[in-house]
């Protein structure tokens, strides 16, 4: 089991059809201890999903736009485990008026919300967990891995609008974090799922493949990999429009 003994924080589980749920499930089957995070009205849904994991997981309160929640998360993880080996960032949100084909007319505030929740939040989460991954008391390198879920931001997708811009920012944030956290042995990478449907898809084929890619980046097998975007889209990013697509490449 490639995650034996690892202690992981997984954000973004809404229900059993979330990519993050598949990640948490795979991680447990590979030997990891897992806690989930959620907040607000969604938390009860997350708790129901957490109860269906192979090993029911605790759900900790976390609104990534709330500094008090971020501080409390770090405190609770240190109390619970003493350290953390990995974190999964599966958080993204944009107001409806920042999506849907009205890019030029989107309100400034909505674009800011998309950036803060979908891109800056990776930095915020890293700030909460990185101190728990760093070496302490001369005990040698601890290190760890932070993995985010991406959506290919190299092109302009129909209707994706300011979420696409936010994902481009997420990719840049991950590279700067890889630069700054690398000396502490902390790797930062993204998994780009390509144009797939999300929780509403009802668990389309391929979510397990995505989860395996994330698990690889959380494991020591990827110890030489940082600052990368791993495309787990069946090659969809590499072929032109009209080419045969994998089950992962369902249109949004």
Which residues are catalytic, by number? Answer: 160, 167
Contact 54, 29 (CB under 8 A): yes
Distance CA 62, CA 231 (A): 28
Q: What is the Cα–Cα distance from 34 to 78, expressed in whole angstroms?
A: 14
Task: Supply 15's token pair.
Answer: 């229900």
N-terminal to C-terminal alpha carbon distance within the chain: 34
What is the Cα–Cα distance from 55 to 37, expressed in whole angstroms?
16
Alpha carbon separation from 150 to 63, 75, 230 (Å, rounded)? 19, 28, 9
Alpha carbon 66 to its chain's center: 18
Structure tokens, 94: 């944009």
Beta-carbon contacts of 167 under 8 Å, excluding residues fewer than 6 positions away, are 92, 118, 119, 150, 151, 152, 153
């Amino acid at each position: 089991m490639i995650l034996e003994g690892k202690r992981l924080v997984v954000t973004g589980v809404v229900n059993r059809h979330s990519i993050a749920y598949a990640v948490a499930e795979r991680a447990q089957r590979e030997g990891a201890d897992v806690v989930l995070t959620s907040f607000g009205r969604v938390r009860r849904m997350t708790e129901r999903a957490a109860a269906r994991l192979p090993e029911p997981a605790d759900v900790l309160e976390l609104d990534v736009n709330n500094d008090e929640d971020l501080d409390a998360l770090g405190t609770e993880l240190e109390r619970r485990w003493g350290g953390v080996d990995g974190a999964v960032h599966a958080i993204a949100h944009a107001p409806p008026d920042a999506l849907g084909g009205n890019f030029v007319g989107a309100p400034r505030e909505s674009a800011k919300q998309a950036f803060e929740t979908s891109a800056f939040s990776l930095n915020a989460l890293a700030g909460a967990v990185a101190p728990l991954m760093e070496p302490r008391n001369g005990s040698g390198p601890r290190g760890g891995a932070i993995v985010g879920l991406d959506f290919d931001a190299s092109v302009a997708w129909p209707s994706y609008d300011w979420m696409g811009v936010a994902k481009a920012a997420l990719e840049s944030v991950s590279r700067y974090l890889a630069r700054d956290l690398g000396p502490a042995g902390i790797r930062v990478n993204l998994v780009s799922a390509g144009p797939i449907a999300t929780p509403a898809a009802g668990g389309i084929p391929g979510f397990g493949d995505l989860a395996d890619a994330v698990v690889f980046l959380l494991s020591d097998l990827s110890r030489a990999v940082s600052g990368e975007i791993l495309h787990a889209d069946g090659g969809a990013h590499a072929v032109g429009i009209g080419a045969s697509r994998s089950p992962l490449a369902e249109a949004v």
